[in-house]
Structure 1
Amino acid sequence: MARTGRPKAELVLTDDERETLNRWARRRTSSQALALRCRIVLECATGASNRDVAALLGVEEHTVSRWRARFVRDRLEGLTDEPRPGGPRKITDAQVEEVVVKTLETTPKDATHWSTRSMAKEVGLSQSAITRIWRTFGLKPHLVDTFKLSKDPQFIEKVRDVVGLYLAPPEHALVLCVDEKTQIQALDRSAPVLPMMPGMPERRTHDYVRGGVTTLFAALNTATGEVIGQIHRRHRAVEFKKFLVRIDREVPAGLDVHLICDNASTHKTPAIQRWLTAHPRFHVHFTPTSSSWLNQVERWFALLTDKQIRRGVHRNVQSLERDIRNWIKTWNEEPKPFVWTKTADEILERLARYLKRIPDSGH
């Protein structure tokens, strides 16, 4: 019995068309959609039915029928995407360029930066259009980041030293990022905190009562993420020495200890130097001045602040210290090390690019 159904369009290829279709189907730069359409046409040219081609290529039968008909009608040009429906573009390239240039190179008369409203009024476009243009080009006039350049004469050497410890830690040794989080305040609100309710966030008074301050000494194990913590009410070389004794006690005796520290005076006093000399397995590596971002424990301090301290309510220092100790204990139950990926060369190259953008940087 003859097969019934919609008759398929007859498809015959020239040698040039067959060569072009094979090239497009194999070309790495072709989109997957175009490559599939080429294979559909090539299979149809063998005389196969739409159903057989669909089964062979794993597509719907109506897809084969559509591209067969498009090729018969428009040949190779029919395999490309047709213009999508929609209104014509109303904003010209010149208008987009004007918005971008004004955003980057000018400021309004009455402000330090542009807003969508002020820019829309300036160039005669809608606020939504300004928003789309800024989003496309990654422009955020309302945001500002801060930075500080290190003036350490040994900046390059120290960066290579510290980053080298992160990327290639020595064998039979522990790398610990050490620092102190000072002046942690125990703050209580002047009225009880109102808990969160459906449709209403947690509410608290804007004023507070100070309950004292404390200091957290912390050493972050870069390999495991575990933290050795010790709390003291004061921040002096005496307390730092006690913390070194704590580290010495907790780290197995067979391992060397490499400490990454900043340039605080408490880390360099004669008493500390004498202690380090008496404990030769300890090796101190100082980060460059104004470069706390190199010390991974600073990232851990940020997590402690966000998750425990900033919204915490503590009537006295004792309750604050108790919560900090509990938080460290919870962290060490499932520690998460921070993965350092940037090499020293990548860091220095990026810094060089920033310096080229700063007028009168001397570089």
Structure 2
Amino acid sequence: MPVPHARPITLTTPERRRLTALAYSHTAGYHQVIRARIVCDAARGHANAAIARRHDVTVDTVRRWRGRFADEGLAGLADRPRPGRPTRFTPVQTAEVKALACQLPAETGTPLSKWTCPDLAAEAVDRGIVAAISASTIRRILARDTIKPWQHHSWIFIRDPRFAVKAAHVLDLYARTFDGVPLDADEYVISSDEKTSIQARCRCHPTLPPGTARTMRVNHEYQRKGALAYLAAYDVHQAKVFSHRSAKTGILPFMTLAEQVMTQQPYASAKRVFWVVDNGSSHRGQAAADRLSQRFPNAVMVHTPIHASWLNQVEIYFSIIQRKVLTPNDFTSLDQVEDRLTAFEQRYNATARPFRWKFTPADLEDLMTRIERHEQKEQNLQQPAGCNTQPAAHALAA
């Protein structure tokens, strides 16, 4: 009986490069590496038996991948599609599990605040949806639609009736316009707010620095050494920070900060200086605007909408302060906190650049449109008794 001859293998230059790279790869799968080495040896003229001995595989394995490459090229080295294990759960059962995950546990009578995969698996069995199911299977089912009931995000509904108008004024200032007129070179935009209750926490044991295979270690126990309020004014387009520290917030500390900014150049002689502030008690309402303009005639106070401090750029600076200066909190006294804040402010002003503000008036219009669409849907649903949701979409008309 004649002995079958080995399939001849001839490689093109691109094929040789790809196979060589795969044969010596440290990240590719083991089986892919072995297949590439088999084909490379076959192209050099080695016999199947010699290749099998060299790579510790059977002759049939060498013959298979040699033949597949001869017939299909590089595509022949990939695994064939396989049907896999038959599914244990019907599409209806899968849909019922997803529907259960999209319900609040309280609505089902389960004393939980949110679902986890083990809880969903137990609930699915209790309800008779499936006879048995594992938590990992629940996770795979939910992953197909990116359903994550164990996570949550908080949100707040817009309730300022003039939200769109106020937000548009702030966004226009960031783009250097006001009432549709571009700002002159001697007009400035200041974003201001307070970071309250910055504590000095003196740890009961010294903080240990990081080391090899060890992170910084901060003792959990501490003694309170007091707290202070950090008031900051951030020049939006110059990326410069001014600050004032006080035992508490209020009208007097805020006006002290305004005095510090408005009595120095270029703000003292500026045509207008716009102060973007939220609705905190230190600078709330028309009374605060009048108080600022009476003290500094070229100062114009612009309020963000209610519950929209995220429109105030100084909040970004406060987040930097929190991450880089105050966390972890390990200070022996309030003086040390003040010294650290002052030193960081000088360091920041030396290299800071304006923030890349990405929320534009077009994004605002899209937000208000989505809110209006959401309200129209809610009007078609029966509101729970005692619900007093204030409309916000009419801010578009405003």
Query: Is the structural similarity TM-score above 0.5?
Result: yes
Name 1:171's counterpart in structure 2.
183
Deviation at 1:237, TM superposition (A): 1.4
Paired amino acid for 1:213: A
Alignment equivalent of 2:266, drawn from 251, 262, 286: 251
List gaps (5 residues or longer) in structure 1: 8-61, 71-80
Alignment equivalent of 2:318, drawn from 301, 304, 310: 301
List gaps (5 residues or longer) in structure 2: 1-7, 11-67, 125-129, 392-398
Paired amino acid for 2:162: Q
Note if 1:182 corresponds to 2:182.
Answer: no
| Deviating 4+ runs (over 4 angstroms) | 62-65, 268-272, 353-360
- Cα contact 1:167–1:340 (8 A) shared by 2: no
Paired amino acid for 1:171: L
Secondary structure of 1:182's counterpart equals: strand
Deviation at 1:294, TM superposition (A): 1.7
Name 1:154's counterpart in structure 2.
162
CA–CA distance in structure 1, aligned partners of residues 370 and 310 of structure 2: 14
Deviation at 1:318, TM superposition (A): 0.6
Kindly report which structure 2 residues correspond to 1:193-342, keeping only aligned pairs within 5 A, or say none.
193-248=207-262, 249-252=264-267, 253-268=269-284, 273-336=290-353, 337-342=355-360
Change (3 A) 1:341 1:266: closer
CA–CA distance in structure 1, aligned partners of residues 90 and 191 of structure 2: 54
Change (3 A) 1:84 1:327: farther
CA–CA distance in structure 2, aligned partners of residues 64 and 284 of structure 1: 77
Alignment equivalent of 1:140, drawn from 131, 148, 155: 148
Secondary structure of 1:188's counterpart equals: strand
CA–CA distance in structure 2, aligned partners of residues 82 and 217 of structure 1: 63
CA–CA distance in structure 1, aligned partners of residues 209 and 97 of structure 2: 45
- Cα contact 1:296–1:338 (8 A) shared by 2: no
Secondary structure of 1:142's counterpart equals: coil
Identity of aligned residues (%): 23
Greater mean deviation of Cα atoms: 167-176 or 303-312: 167-176
Name 2:30's counterpart in structure 1.
none
User: For each residue in 1:139-175, what CA deviation from the matched residue of structure 2 results, as whole angstroms up to 9, or x when unmatched?
Assistant: 2222222222343332232122222223453422222
- Cα contact 2:195–2:231 (8 A) shared by 1: yes
RMSD (Å) for aligned C-alpha atoms: 3.3
Note if 1:101 corresponds to 2:99.
Answer: yes
Deviation at 1:118, TM superposition (A): 1.7
Deviation at 1:116, TM superposition (A): 0.7
- Cα contact 1:187–1:315 (8 A) shared by 2: yes
Secondary structure of 1:288's counterpart equals: coil
Greater mean deviation of Cα atoms: 318-327 or 227-236: 227-236
Change (3 A) 1:246 1:144: same
User: For each residue in 1:72-127, what CA deviation from the matched residue of structure 2 results, as whole angstroms up to 9, or x when unmatched?
Assistant: xxxxxxxxx99723514525433332221111125262422221112123243322
Paired amino acid for 1:84: P
Change (3 A) 1:63 1:245: farther
Kindly report which structure 2 residues correspond to 1:38-117, keeping only aligned pairs within 5 A, or say none.
66=72, 84-85=81-82, 87-88=84-85, 90=87, 91-107=89-105, 109-117=110-118
Paired amino acid for 2:135: Q
CA–CA distance in structure 1, aligned partners of residues 288 and 151 of structure 2: 45
Change (3 A) 1:350 1:279: same
Note if 1:120 corresponds to 2:136.
Answer: no
Name 2:371's counterpart in structure 1.
351
Q: What is the TM-score with the length of structure 2 in the denominator?
A: 0.64
Change (3 A) 1:236 1:130: same
